[in-house]
Structure 1
């Protein structure tokens, strides 16, 4: 049977781009010491209605466009990471010591603990995403990206599928929902055993859930902050990250894209509850 874990109150969550380098522009403009600008841009000499200033303005507009995406937004690498601003990183919805939340209680079966926590994380992350889902569309989020990392979905045959963020997240939530409600994988009846593949399935679920959190932070934190839900998101992220570290459920390389955030959230300067930065513990289960 699933064990009840301490849940945080999250009930309030209910056109073409031209790219030209400077060298290309110089070649287009020619050598100003040998050619006039008008003749360099307009073979055969200047034409009525055109002036050097007009052409330069057009080139300037073209170069400014090259710094943005087709939808007018700057690439993620150039955008300021709003979620790292102190006014947001300091906010939590509880002062509880998270280390106590993730540690395996004595005399509690490891699989039961994992199943209970993973199910809770799934429900909370799904709820958190639902608050900004109207802003995550195929037009605004054309790929499933987070901090310059693009994720692809793999179908049951292992075929890689490039999809929009809302499509990817729908795949994640649907597949995880199917797993956590499967009695053969997440048993709820007394005496029913967990499958031998349970560990790998839990790691797979956690990887997918991290992708969703990473996308929310990198692509929709502005909306999260506007809704004043950043405290809930920070609390959920801290709890989730400590849990996966405690049981080594994710490769550190997988979560590296948000290392800057985790360092700030777990730092003593931003939070006194920095005991959370302790090293991960290995829980080896006898087979």
Structure 2
């Protein structure tokens, strides 16, 4: 499964650079038991009753926990996802965004975890999305300039950066009466735009593995939920979504 390294901050990562470097699909799954195990892990993304717990959870009894339960109940009710993402009457928009950012982090982190075994330095030497899009890493410390990295290394650093942010009380306050910082939505926009890159890489380079697990419907549902949410609150620039534009038009319209 997906194991994250030592935490490292990220600053000023460019949205994408054009490249002609090809990142081939990972190898097909050949061992039935491996497929079943990974399919089970992916199923756990969408069920809080399983033994594999998310990295970040909401404390019972808090307003954000109640919002989380409300959002999950709406998802399970079969309501139109476009309506599910709408801000409930009387709720604070920043609380609603915070709940969804954490939930998407948990789900997308696990989605990538199911294919990370097949996302190696050999199969994916560069973090990319097809022939046109390449994502480079910069953190101001170990990586002073935008740097080409294998997809797995990039993902590790990315997930670490996100987890550091959502666990930072100055950005995602959990204490009653503590306000969100003025730049809260800007931070969330950066997190969500970077999580989109995970979808890009998984869909373009590892979708054969996802299909082999029979999990494409689950990932499509997660992506649609994510897409409707960011669209509802204008949280990502349209140019960022270009790598999956054709697919998005097909499954989200």
Scaled by the length of structure 2, what TM-score is found? 0.69
Q: Summarize deviations over 1:22-42 as a string: whole Å, max 9, x none.
A: xxxxxxxxxxxxxxxxxxxxx
Unpaired stretches in structure 2, ≥5 consecutive residues: 1-62
Pairwise CA distance, 1:199: 1.3
Given that 1:137 and 1:166 are in contact with CA atoms closer than 8 Å, whether structure 2 keeps it comes out as: yes
Q: Distance in 1 between matches of 2:226 and 2:130?
A: 19
Counterpart of 2:81 (choices 87, 92, 98) is 98
Residue 196 of structure 1 corresponds to which residue in structure 2?
Answer: 182
Say whether residues 1:218 and 2:226 are aligned partners: no
In the TM superposition, 1:50-129 aligns within 5 A as 95-129=78-112
Change (3 A) 1:138 1:246: same
**Corresponding residue for 1:159?**
145
CA distance in structure 1 between the partners assigned to 2:94 and 2:250 by the alignment: 31
CA distance in 1, matches of 2:77, 2:153: 33
RCO comparison, higher one (Cα < 8 Å, 6+)? 2
CA RMSD, 1 decimal: 1.8
What is the SS of the residue equivalent to 2:128?
strand
1:144 corresponds to 2:127: yes
CA contact (8 A) 1:238 1:265 kept: yes
1:207 matched residue in structure 2: 193
Q: What are the superposed Cα offsets for residues 15-71 of structure 1, whole Å, 9 maximum, x if unpaired?
A: xxxxxxxxxxxxxxxxxxxxxxxxxxxxxxxxxxxxxxxxxxxxxxxxxxxxxxxxx
Could you say which structure has the larger radius of gyration?
Answer: 1
Q: Deviations over 1:142-183 (max 9, x none)?
A: 000113201101113552121010011111100000111111
For residue 226 of structure 2, the aligned residue among 234, 240, 245 is: 240
8 Å Cα contact 1:184/1:195 also seen in 2: yes
The 1-side partners of 2:252 and 2:93 are apart by 26
User: Is 2:115 the partner of 1:132?
Assistant: yes
Cα distance in 2 for partners of 1:141, 1:180 equals 28
Structure 1 runs, 4 residues or longer, greater than 4 Å off: none
